[in-house]
Structure 1
Amino acid sequence: MNRYVKTALLAGAAWSALSTFAMAQDAPQEGVSALDDVVVSARRRDEMLKDVPISVSAIGEERLEQTGASDITALQQQTPNATVQVARGSNSTLISFIRGVGQQDPLWGFEPGVGLYVDDVYVARPQGAVLDIYDVQRIEVLRGPQGSLYGRNTVGGAIKYVTNTLSSDPELTLRGAYGSYNQIDLMAVGSIPLADNFRIGGAVASYQRDGYGTNINTGAEHYNKDVLAGRISAEWEPRDDISIRLAYDRVQDDSNPRHGHRELAGATPAGAVQPSVYDTNAGVGDDNSVMNQGASATIQLDLNDNWTFKSITAWREGDTDTVIDFDNTPAPTLDIPAYYADDQLTQEFQFLFDYDRVQGVAGIFYLDGHAEGAFDTVLGNAGIVIGTAGQVNTESWAGFADVNLDLTDRLHLGLGMRYTLDTKQGTVFRANYLGATRSPILGGTVRAPLLVRTNYTNTKDFTQFTPRIALSYDLTDDMTTYVSFSQGFKSGGFDMRGDAIFTPNTVNGYDPETVDSWEIGLKGALDRLTFAASAFYNEYQDQQVTTQVPAVGGIASFVDNVGSSTFYGVEFEGQLRILDSLSANFAVGYLNSDFEQFLRYNLGTAMYEDISDQVVLQNAPEWTGYLGLTWIGDVAGGDLAVTPSVSYRGDYSQFEFPNPVLDQQAYALVDLSIVWTDPTDRFTVGVYGKNLTDEEYRVGGYNFPGALFDNSIIGYYGPPQTVTASLQVKF
């Protein structure tokens, strides 16, 4: 039987059983935590989670504290079919995939596939985007294309980081933590009202930790953490119908660069495989600095009982100076010093409306962005350095609308659409310089290029209409089912590494990619169970893939629209209240993916070849899962919450081309959190154990085999076993 038919039959049988059970329930049983309790803003307006015909995982502040989540990469463990990881070679660059769609190339000018939003402000670049969790109200993960409401670069989905609003009473919270590897975390969050309608507040957090490993060559810490983050805000209601929020945030990450771990031995003793996967023998240096900051102004005006106007103005910028030693030896065999810089200005106007049977939002979005950078590819065995530099300027306009129509008391129709116009100007320069030292581009010895490989400026426009339609039906007051179609769009652009000698077409840029997604969902409450289930089928067209291959005289890199792929899957997540004092949180995801076409440029024949039978979707494990039990009881007059949990991630490939040395086999992570809060809710003491079985697992890698690169195949690893104790005091 065709596998698609099998999946449809299984999904249909599950929906039939759950729907029949749901319609037999007149009302939820006493003690049930219904989805009515969970409010999200997935459709740019506050709604009950059960009413939103979108697959959304919403993890609140309490749950984040119970599980000891330190940054947003914790979402990977608790969210089905999600990859949320720290990028290769970095401590604060974000790599995100949802349902197999995303992007792990953080180079300037290359767009992510999962959109990141902080309080409705779009964060365009992944550098500095591994947000530490402090002063957060909840984090929402929207799975599937979000093209109509969130627009460009949400082909996989979106992650929304929602911070706390300011209290009308004076508040101060202090938190300190000490843990393995001399981890010292300090945080202060507070607010104070200066008038009945005006409040100011702020948060500051310092995260320090010794390295999990050592740079054997220099003695420096490897995989350490040195981050200082802060946020200040002000909220003002000059009238009952007007609210204004101003916010500024900044993150400074001075952690050492992560050079990775050599997975295969090189030709010299210095290229030996280190016993610890967290050790390196790199020689390019240990200096690394990432700064990311931004400011925003959100103004909301209630025009009347039915209409609300909202303006979101935001500015962000980031700077990164880093080095990565791909060969992991003191010699400059394959060293990459680099810098990135970006800035963006966004403006969004929203008109929200709510009538008896019609609710929705319409608006206009504008982005003016600039991203630039440069890096050297130092090839000691060839005696040259390839210097690469460039920039891309982006201007984006979009008009959007999303409307919900109550056709009957139980039947609802959702219609969404967005039209986007992107204009991009790209400049790329790439040249060979004699001598295996830094090029003049990065401050090296001034010398003329040996060979100019790329030198062009080009401009392209990209337009896309992205619709969404959803039909939902309330089976009961506590159960909703829906079917939907949505499209996502990721803008085209220019390959900042493009080599016009190897691939002359690089000067023409690459086209946008799209994802068409069909989904059926069911969410609600059954007795002691609250849950959300979905089945989806996606068609991925004009897929953008970065490929880097060894070539005579250097490395050939190209971004191509390689073709298309299809994938389908199911997801089931929720909470089961086993006893009044014991509950289980769970998430299960299944994903099946196949390339239908993968066109790769053959350097020898100068022709494109379909090699779809040789490739797989990267960062797309077939199975992901999470199970956490939480027992809450009265201990010493306070509440004690004990949460053991296990997360599972199946086999997955780091790149489209399978590599048995780098690809990660299935693994499970076991955690345990114990949190006690005193009767006055003033003191909270927590102990958090992470990766208690000390699992070694790769989260990234680089693959440059061959004598020219001294067989540079390196891997990057997730954190080892750690234990952290914390104390929090509220005033």
Structure 2
Amino acid sequence: MFHKNKVASVVALAVMSMSGALSASANDNSDEISFALEEVVVTAQKREESLQDVPVAVTAFSGLQLEEAGIQTIADLERVTPNTTLRPSRATNTTLTAYVRGIGQNDPLWGFEPGVGLYIDDIYFARPQGAMLDVYDIERIEVLRGPQGSLYGKNTIGGAIKYVTKRMTGEAELDLGLAVGSYNQNDISVAGQLPLIEDKLYVGATVASFQRDGFGKNKFTGADNYDKDISAARLSMEFSPSDNLFVRLAGDVTRDESNNRHGSRLTESLQTGEAPHDPYDSNAGAGDDQVVENSGGNLTIEWDLSDSVTLKSVTAYREGSTEGFIDFDATPVNTFDAPVKYADHQFTQEIQFNYNSERLALVGGLYYLDGYASGAFDVIAGAALGAPAVLPQDASYPTFVAATQGTAETTSKAVYLHASYELTEQLTMTVGGRYTKDEKEASVYKEKLFTDGTAGGASAEFGGVNVNSLVVQSDFTEGDEWSQFSPKVGFDYRIGDDTMIYTSYAEGFKSGGVNMRADVTASPEGFSHVFDPETAKSYELGIKTELFDNRVRINAAVFHTNYDSVQITQTVLIGTDFVPSVATNNEQVIDGLEFEMVAQLTESLTANFNLGYLDTEWDKFTNGVGEDVGSDMTVSNQPKLSSFVGFNYEKDLGENGTLVIGANVSYTDEIAMEVALGEQPIDEDAYTLLNLDATWYSADEHWKVALHAKNITDEQYRVAGYNFPAFLGDDEILGFYGDPRTVTLDIGYSF
């Protein structure tokens, strides 16, 4: 276990070693040192600024950095960003579980909202399904930590991930990409743009296909497990009729036909004797077919009214759907199987006002979201009646089925303002606020069926069996509305030209909702189906500095967060019924540290180091029977310590081009996969990942050839799991794992 004194030692050792290397370099070269770090420009505060001028904890990656590091999906950002967890959710390929500074959402059901805001070109993704984005056609990605409500369209309680696609250059261009590698990886991308009216109207398109065999097999069906079969396309048109007006119309579509990701058992099955085996293999009988689709269109208009004033409008519509299966028991029999469907669509409109003068920078906006999400799933429990579980296609035994379906409609309206004013040449004050009004209405239908095991019609969503008896457990429509003002205040002070210290206080808000698994018949009197919003109050102190003639950049922050009304899904045993509830009588205290350093050690050699530390405790956690067991509960999806060390060496080969070689290692401390009473078998021990990258660019800038080796030591590590001991006739305790060792050859050509 790591403690604060060990964290301080790690930071001090890294700083001293890199500073020593820089001092030695300076001593070896008595002449003036000409090399320095390049400036990093971000739009974290809705305007272009140097990273070192932004009093916000933000990590930024350019498209070139992502390319050279072999970043394939936004999940890869976890290892290079402090206090950030980005992972595929349980039993899925493209549903995102995101946590920043210990705040997120582990339950992807349609009654909840994400705890971390995901934005593509300022467009908010309301649902986590399909949010595990592949990185292509990218200009940069920014990860902002802490509440950001005074700057962003939707409530952003934990942090925000900004995915910014490339704008067109105005020239005729065509880029081809091919990547081949382990497990028959075969990725193809084609991106092009064409000017229709010189300096005024351009069109562009990108088409990509990401294909790979599975890391393992479903031993029962022979299908690939952990495979990849994704196709995606983007089409855009940019119009600049004058120097002060920019219009962008864009659309995108993604289709994921990868197989269901089946888990591997961690314990022996009580039904079949199935024992743990290769972590990427499974023996699931529920089914392998899965389809996830996402698409959307958006219109962005930017109008510079003057040198100081800009108006911006972002209008967008998105929709998505998912069909698949979850095999909770990972055996061929139907002990605990669940066919699932999700669908959603959203309309968003944001109007933004941006003003900049010599001493005042102001961002204000109006935001509107109209969202709809729905879903349905059956819980098929073949052994729940005391009979042995059977193969899903076997109709010789009676079966218990619990069917759940519902819809959730959300309307969110907000106004926000963020202003920074230079009180003196060194001291700047920032004040901001956001007023949010969220309205939700949800319909919930739940029933339990007892079938006779013969094929026929059924009232269950996915039934196909004749029903002996049926009990409707829930059939209701409920809703509520919540209003919240979330302030922000901060000060930043400049010490010379290269150092800024800042302090801030900010509040965040995440909407409440309706329990989509509610069981009215089994719920005790007063058992609420509507759950409260979450709130976070965050205090932060940070420093941003550049040393040794801008050859070392250090950004660090400490923070304290009071995280209240934390939304936790619990299953409460009432009589003989397992009743799912959403408890919000929970409070956390989160203390943390973030340290990021980049050092230009020589003209060719760059070093990167970052560290994240989280100390999270439950001030209060009330279990299903009203007992406060806070001190005994774990916190999920947040390692206490995470760190990253990387080196990049760039060599100019003259007429033979440029070679960039990189090596990095990341460390993730032990991590709990769910909130639970003490350690659980699905929790993961600490692990370390080692990666190597080499990229060659031709002198004429047409060719790129890269080799990426990931997880070189072939570390096996869990990223998610299900933990249902002694439930519905078996122990459903499963693990889902990160990628094994892979090697990829990436070739690109630009016309």
**Shorter-normalised TM range:** over 0.9
- Pick from 252, 275, 278: which aligns with 1:276? 278
CA distance in 2, matches of 1:153, 1:89: 27
CA distance in 1, matches of 2:704, 2:554: 29
> Is the counterpart of residue 567 in structure 1 residue 590 in structure 2?
yes
What does the per-residue CA deviation read over 1:615-662, in whole Å, with 9 as the maximum and x for residues that have no partner? 021111110001111011134721111111101100111111143411
Give 1:522-533 correspondences, 5 Å limit. 522-527=543-548, 528-533=551-556
CA distance in 2, matches of 1:329, 1:563: 36
Give the equivalent residue in structure 2 for 1:242: 245
Q: Using the TM superposition, give the Cα deviation of residue 548 of structure 1 relative to its aligned residue in structure 2, in angstroms.
A: 3.3
Give the equivalent residue in structure 2 for 1:510: 531
The answer to whether the Cα contact below 8 Å between 1:456 and 1:507 also exists between their aligned partners in 2 is: no
CA distance in 2, matches of 1:356, 1:52: 16
> Is the counterpart of residue 711 in structure 1 residue 731 in structure 2?
yes
CA distance in 1, matches of 2:557, 2:466: 59
Give the equivalent residue in structure 2 for 1:698: 718
Q: Closer, same or farther in 2 for the Cα pair 1:408/1:717, shift >3 Å?
A: same
- Pick from 251, 256, 260: which aligns with 2:254? 251
> Counterpart of 2:531 in structure 1: which amino acid?
Y
The answer to whether the Cα contact below 8 Å between 1:32 and 1:525 also exists between their aligned partners in 2 is: no
Give the equivalent residue in structure 2 for 1:18: none
CA distance in 2, matches of 1:448, 1:268: 24
- Pick from 639, 662, 682: which aligns with 2:682? 662
What does the per-residue CA deviation read over 1:200-246, in whole Å, with 9 as the maximum and x for residues that have no partner? 10111100000001000000000000000111111001222211001
- Pick from 194, 199, 203: which aligns with 1:200? 203
The answer to whether the Cα contact below 8 Å between 1:175 and 1:188 also exists between their aligned partners in 2 is: yes
SS in 2 for 1:228: strand
TM-score, length-scaled by structure 2: 0.91
Q: Using the TM superposition, give the Cα deviation of residue 578 of structure 1 relative to its aligned residue in structure 2, in angstroms.
A: 1.3
The answer to whether the Cα contact below 8 Å between 1:92 and 1:129 also exists between their aligned partners in 2 is: yes
Q: Using the TM superposition, give the Cα deviation of residue 562 of structure 1 relative to its aligned residue in structure 2, in angstroms.
A: 3.1
CA distance in 2, matches of 1:401, 1:6: 41
Give the equivalent residue in structure 1 for 2:36: 32
CA distance in 1, matches of 2:130, 2:529: 30
CA distance in 2, matches of 1:433, 1:662: 31
Q: Closer, same or farther in 2 for the Cα pair 1:550/1:74, shift >3 Å?
A: farther
Q: Closer, same or farther in 2 for the Cα pair 1:665/1:6, shift >3 Å?
A: closer
Q: Using the TM superposition, give the Cα deviation of residue 150 of structure 1 relative to its aligned residue in structure 2, in angstroms.
A: 2.2
> Counterpart of 2:561 in structure 1: which amino acid?
N
What does the per-residue CA deviation read over 1:275-307, in whole Å, with 9 as the maximum and x for residues that have no partner? 210000000111100001111000011112221
- Pick from 567, 570, 574: which aligns with 1:544? 567
What does the per-residue CA deviation read over 1:66-103, in whole Å, with 9 as the maximum and x for residues that have no partner? 11000100110100011001111111111100111101
Q: Which runs of 5+ in 1 are unaligned?
A: 16-27, 603-607
> Counterpart of 2:240 in structure 1: which amino acid?
E
The answer to whether the Cα contact below 8 Å between 1:495 and 1:506 also exists between their aligned partners in 2 is: no
Give the equivalent residue in structure 2 for 1:483: 503
Give 1:224-623 correspondences, 5 Å limit. 224-269=227-272, 271-273=274-276, 275-382=277-384, 383-435=399-451, 440-442=460-462, 444-445=464-465, 447=467, 450-504=470-524, 505=526, 507-527=528-548, 528-548=551-571, 555-602=578-625, 608-623=626-641
Q: Closer, same or farther in 2 for the Cα pair 1:551/1:496, shift >3 Å?
A: same
CA distance in 2, matches of 1:107, 1:628: 37
Q: Closer, same or farther in 2 for the Cα pair 1:29/1:449, shift >3 Å?
A: farther
CA distance in 1, matches of 2:578, 2:334: 15
Q: Using the TM superposition, give the Cα deviation of residue 348 of structure 1 relative to its aligned residue in structure 2, in angstroms.
A: 0.4
What does the per-residue CA deviation read over 1:288-340, in whole Å, with 9 as the maximum and x for residues that have no partner? 00001111000011112221111000000000001010001111100011000
SS in 2 for 1:31: coil
CA distance in 2, matches of 1:159, 1:191: 27
Give the equivalent residue in structure 2 for 1:626: 644
The answer to whether the Cα contact below 8 Å between 2:124 and 2:153 also exists between their aligned partners in 1 is: no
CA distance in 2, matches of 1:328, 1:640: 46
What does the per-residue CA deviation read over 1:378-420, in whole Å, with 9 as the maximum and x for residues that have no partner? 1111231100001110011000111110111221111110000
The answer to whether the Cα contact below 8 Å between 2:270 and 2:729 also exists between their aligned partners in 1 is: no
> Counterpart of 1:230 in structure 2: which amino acid?
A
> Counterpart of 1:164 in structure 2: which amino acid?
K
SS in 2 for 1:76: helix
CA distance in 1, matches of 2:739, 2:585: 34
- Pick from 43, 46, 56: which aligns with 2:45? 43
SS in 1 for 2:135: coil
What does the per-residue CA deviation read over 1:691-716, in whole Å, with 9 as the maximum and x for residues that have no partner? 00000100001111116341110010
> Counterpart of 1:526 in structure 2: which amino acid?
L
CA distance in 1, matches of 2:153, 2:671: 28
> Counterpart of 2:402 in structure 1: which amino acid?
I
CA distance in 2, matches of 1:668, 1:378: 39
CA distance in 1, matches of 2:5, 2:672: 27
CA distance in 2, matches of 1:671, 1:7: 23
CA distance in 1, matches of 2:400, 2:466: 14
CA distance in 2, matches of 1:147, 1:446: 51
Q: Closer, same or farther in 2 for the Cα pair 1:725/1:551, shift >3 Å?
A: farther
The answer to whether the Cα contact below 8 Å between 2:704 and 2:747 also exists between their aligned partners in 1 is: yes
> Counterpart of 1:623 in structure 2: which amino acid?
L
Q: Using the TM superposition, give the Cα deviation of residue 152 of structure 1 relative to its aligned residue in structure 2, in angstroms.
A: 4.5
SS in 2 for 1:433: strand
The answer to whether the Cα contact below 8 Å between 1:503 and 1:558 also exists between their aligned partners in 2 is: no
Give the equivalent residue in structure 1 for 2:226: 223
SS in 2 for 1:610: coil
Give the equivalent residue in structure 1 for 2:216: 213
Q: Closer, same or farther in 2 for the Cα pair 1:182/1:11, shift >3 Å?
A: closer
Q: Which runs of 5+ in 2 are unaligned?
A: 16-31, 385-398
> Is the counterpart of residue 79 in structure 1 residue 98 in structure 2?
no
Give the equivalent residue in structure 1 for 2:122: 120
How many residues were matched structurally? 709
Q: Using the TM superposition, give the Cα deviation of residue 109 of structure 1 relative to its aligned residue in structure 2, in angstroms.
A: 2.4
SS in 2 for 1:442: coil
> Is the counterpart of residue 646 in structure 1 residue 648 in structure 2?
no
SS in 1 for 2:624: strand
The answer to whether the Cα contact below 8 Å between 2:118 and 2:125 also exists between their aligned partners in 1 is: yes
CA distance in 2, matches of 1:552, 1:374: 26
CA distance in 2, matches of 1:586, 1:482: 21
Q: Using the TM superposition, give the Cα deviation of residue 32 of structure 1 relative to its aligned residue in structure 2, in angstroms.
A: 2.0
> Is the counterpart of residue 144 in structure 1 residue 146 in structure 2?
yes
> Counterpart of 1:546 in structure 2: which amino acid?
T
CA distance in 2, matches of 1:681, 1:362: 41
SS in 2 for 1:706: strand
The answer to whether the Cα contact below 8 Å between 1:152 and 1:490 also exists between their aligned partners in 2 is: no
Q: Using the TM superposition, give the Cα deviation of residue 440 of structure 1 relative to its aligned residue in structure 2, in angstroms.
A: 2.5
SS in 2 for 1:356: coil
Give the equivalent residue in structure 2 for 1:172: 174
